[in-house]
Structure 1
Amino acid sequence: MKKQVSTIVSIILIIVIAVFALMNFESVEVNFGFASFQVPLVLLILICLLIGALIIFLFSSTQNVKKNRQYKQLESEKQQQQAALNAQIDELNNNLKVLETRLKNSTGKQEIGSRDQQITDLQDEIAKLTEKLSSQK
């Protein structure tokens, strides 16, 4: 929508300048300080318009170049930060795997320890029952 509005405004300005230039056909003297020329006013207006358009184009193109450089710099910084974050994520995943392995191992040791305790308790109970049996005889 913005482009359409700018195109319409540009066309209107071109028409206004063309009508203004066509209304001024007489020759005028242009003095550059070191030389003077007789030039039709219509040609002078169009030359000045083209010079102004060229200046605007040069300024806008330098700004576009600066913006493109900034964009590329920001893009490279973003990629570096992404790489650093991916490295951190990988490191955290590796740490998670190590901790999960440790947890599994510690859980297994706890189960073995509790079973050993149960076996010891059962052996003690068997010993007590054996003593009871031998004392009853």
Structure 2
Amino acid sequence: MKKQIGTIVGIILIIIVAIFSLMNLNSVEVNFGFARVQSPLILLILISLLLGSLIIFTFSSTQTVKKNRQMKRFEKLSDAKQSELSNQIQDLKKSLKMMETRLKNSTGKQTIGEKDQQITELERQIEKLNQNL
């Protein structure tokens, strides 16, 4: 929508400049400070318009190039951060697996320890029963 409005405004301005230029066909003298030139006013108007357009194009192009460079820099930073976060996630997953393994081993050892205690208790009870016999 913005481009369409810009195009319409541009066409209207070109038509206005063309009409204005055609109304001023007189020959004028231009003093550049070091030289004087006599040329038709229509030519001066069109040359001025062309130079203004080139200046605006140059400034807008440099701004666009700067924005593109900045965008690329931000994309690189974003990719680096994503990579770093992915590595951290992988490290955390590995740590979680290790902790789960330790927990399973710990639970197994606790169970073995409880069984050893039960066996020891049963051996004591057996000894007591043997003594009572």
Scaled by the length of structure 1, the TM-score of the pair is 0.87
State the match for 1:30 in structure 2. Answer: 30
SS of corresponding position for 1:34: coil
Q: CA RMSD for the aligned pairs?
A: 1.6
- What is the distance in 2 between the residues matched to 1:3 and 1:122? 91
- What is the distance in 1 between the residues matched to 2:90 and 2:113? 34
State the match for 2:8 in structure 1. Answer: 8
State the match for 1:67 in structure 2. Answer: 67
State the match for 2:18 in structure 1. Answer: 18
Q: Which amino acid aligns with 2:38?
A: Q
| TM-aligned CA deviation for residue 130 of structure 1 | 4.5
| TM-aligned CA deviation for residue 49 of structure 1 | 0.2
Scaled by the length of structure 2, the TM-score of the pair is 0.89
The more displaced of 47-56 and 115-124 is 115-124
- What is the distance in 1 between the residues matched to 2:19 and 2:130? 125
| TM-aligned CA deviation for residue 128 of structure 1 | 4.0
SS of corresponding position for 2:34: coil
State the match for 2:58 in structure 1. Answer: 58
- What is the distance in 1 between the residues matched to 2:11 and 2:110? 85
Provide structure 1 residue ranges, at least 5 long, that are not aligned to the other structure.
none
Q: Encode CA deviations 1:54-85: one digit per residue, 9 max, x unaligned.
A: 00011111111111221121122222222221
Identity over aligned pairs, percent:
62
SS of corresponding position for 2:24: coil
State the match for 1:49 in structure 2. Answer: 49
